[in-house]
Structures are given as C-alpha cells and as structure tokens.
Amino acid sequence: MYLYNRSKHCSVKFIDDVFLIQSILLDDFHEMIMEIVIDPEDHIIRDIDFTMRRTPYDYCKGVQIKAKEMKGIKVGPGISGLAKQKLGEASGCYHLLDLFMEGIKVYKQGTARWRFKNNDTEGIKATRKALKDTCYYYSKNHDDTFLPKNGGQQ
C-alpha cells in the first residue's frame, strides 16, 4: 500500500543560444514547475520562474516570487549556500530550494553533454576538473586525458 508518492523530472534544452532548465515536482500535495534560463558564456542566470500549481496550503504560494532573487547570479562555487539563504529556511520553501538545486545539477550535466557533442576539448577538460572526486569514475584513479566518444553515450 502506497502512503505517499513523489516524482521529480528535470530537463535541459539549448534554445536560442541559452540553456533552458526545467525542474518539476509532482506529489500527492504539490505540483511545482521551475524554469531557469542560463547564459552558456558567463553562466549567469538570465531568468527564472517558479510556479506552484498545487500546494497543501494557499499561503505557500507566497514564496513563488523568491525564485526571482536568483536572477543575475552566476552558477559556480558558493551557489548552494546562497540558494539556501535566499530560497530555503524559514522564509522560503524546501521544495523551491530543492527544485532549484536539481536544476543546477542538470545544468552542469547538460552543459557537459553539450560540450561533448560539440567537441569542445577545453570545455570537456574543465568539466572533468569540476567533477574530479565527485564519484569513483571521476576520481583520481582515472586518467584526466580521457574524453568520451559519441557525446558521452555508451
């Protein structure tokens, strides 16, 4: 017997020279959608929108506007702490913060895939450096010169 059900879906698209990241949360009480537009040149968040279509309490929707506080922020070191401060904690929403961070994770993965597909050797090296020691595959046990073939697909 299921007591509670939750699904999250995230995607990254490259449209009109920017990355469009979409994060969706759907569970028994929530339906939320976040869209983030990031410039690939400087990694600045150019636009962000967060919509709460369904919430357990009407006043929850009051935090939707907080997402706009991340507009103009560069995706890079320190973004997790800044996001927690601006989007989470007592004046924010756990789900808002969660969907934002999921979006940032898939942005990083999507840009890596984009670099592989475009044979951006320098970008791939930067990606490998950024991923170093985040998991076994990217640990110090592997050669830094490896470049995946076929856009990183097996």
- Give the domain ranges of the chain: 6-152
CA distances from 132 to 87, 119, 136 (A): 28, 20, 9
pLDDT-derived band of residue 35, with 50, 70 and 90 as boundaries?
Answer: very high
Which regions of the chain does DSSP assign to beta strands (E)? Answer: 6-15, 18-27, 31-38, 45-54
The rounded mean pLDDT for the chain is 88
Model confidence, pTM: 0.83
In angstroms, the CA 20 to CA 48 distance is 10
Question: From the DSSP assignment, how many helices (H) and strands (E) are in the chain?
Answer: 3, 4
Among residues 150, 152, 132, 151, the alpha carbon closest in space to that of 142 is found at 132
pLDDT of residue 142: 57
pLDDT of residue 43: 94
Q: Which amino acid is at 138?
A: Y
pLDDT digits (tens, 9 = 90+) for 46-81: 999 999 999 999 999 999 999 999 999 999 999 999
pLDDT of residue 143: 55
**Other beta carbons less than 10 A from residue 16's beta carbon:** 7
pLDDT of residue 111: 85
pLDDT-derived band of residue 83, with 50, 70 and 90 as boundaries?
Answer: very high
